[in-house]
Amino acid sequence: MNFGYYPGCALHGSSNDYEQSIRACMKTLGVGLAEVDDWICCGATAAHSLNHKLAVALPARNLAVAQKQGHAEMVAPCPMCSMQLLRAQHEMGKDAGLKAEIARIIETEMDGGPKVLNIIQVFERIGLKELGAAVKNPLKDLKPACYYGCLLVRPPSVTDFDDAEQPESMEKVVNALGAKAVAWNYKTECCGAGMTMASPETVLELSNKILANAAAHGANCLVTACPMCHVNLDMKQADIQARYGVTYNLPVYYLTDLVGMALGLSASELGTDRHFVVAQPGKGA
């Protein structure tokens, strides 16, 4: 099984632990990732608020490059990136005039580009039974709260993935690993995303609500597929403790971290030893 791979800026920068986890996981599962050559930033998170054509042209160029390189399917693990790529396809698909103008801007023709997949869809392609059969270290002590955030399932007309209010695809993956995902209320609530720098108070307030709800429903960790969500929920726990006087100590994992742990990969192989909050002895993996 082989896919084109669009890492996006975060996975080559501040969230390179996510890429480390993805590559370690996929190598163990025998899944090939061919990074798209000469990819550029997709425009998240600011382009759409500044210039609509730019917000379409940036991801469109990546789609065109991937198509020229022969990728029928392309994995974009960052939900911000996958949504930008999908939105560009969606908008050009319904507006021939826009498609023609974007082709002129990026100086190349394209036929929609490859099918864009998020990281959960990759595990669905592998198959939950096959994934379960590969487990060497069942995660029986883990009770994760699966956090989708805003963009994996929204807007549904663009993402066309899972249920926009009550998604379950991530729970199915973690349960196949032997974990017991908890039912909770904040799985699709916003963590503040890119407001980390512009309005840190907003991020602390929203992230605190997410962590509090996860803890209240018995979770001993959170799992996400978004690098921005991971930053806000992992790195900001110390600031949340200082501001609100609450201590959660909830490890925040990428979905690939849990898969890798179940496959027998170590913290150093996955990059979880570089997270801000680490699991406490006797409180899960």
Range(s) within the chain of domains with CATH label 1.20.1050.140: 2-117
Q: The tokens of 142 are what?
A: 């883990």
Say if residue 194's pLDDT is above 80.
Answer: no
111: pLDDT strictly greater than 80: yes
Instruction: Please check the confidence at residue 45 and state whether its pLDDT lies above 80.
Output: no
Q: Examine the pLDDT at 152 and tell me if it is beyond 50.
A: yes
Closest CA to 78 of 255, 204, 199, 233: 255
Q: Which one-letter amino acid corresponds to residue 83?
A: M
Q: How many residues does the chain have?
A: 285
- pLDDT average, residue stretch 10-23: 96
| Rounded mean pLDDT, 61-71 | 97
CATH class assigned to 2-117: mainly alpha
Answer whether 17's CB lies under 8 Å from 72's CB. no
Kindly indicate the confidence band of residue 282, based on its pLDDT and cuts at 50, 70 and 90.
Answer: very low
Q: Which residues contact 128 (CB under 8 A, 6 or more apart)?
A: 172, 173, 176
When the pLDDT of each residue in the chain is averaged and rounded to a whole number, the result is: 95
pLDDT at 285: 52
CATH 3.40.50.11810 residue window(s) in the chain: 127-274
pTM (predicted TM-score): 0.95
Task: Answer whether residue 29 shows pLDDT above 70.
Answer: yes
Confidence tier at 109 by pLDDT (50, 70, 90): confident
Please say if the pLDDT value at position 281 is more than 60.
no
**127-274 belongs to which CATH class?**
alpha beta
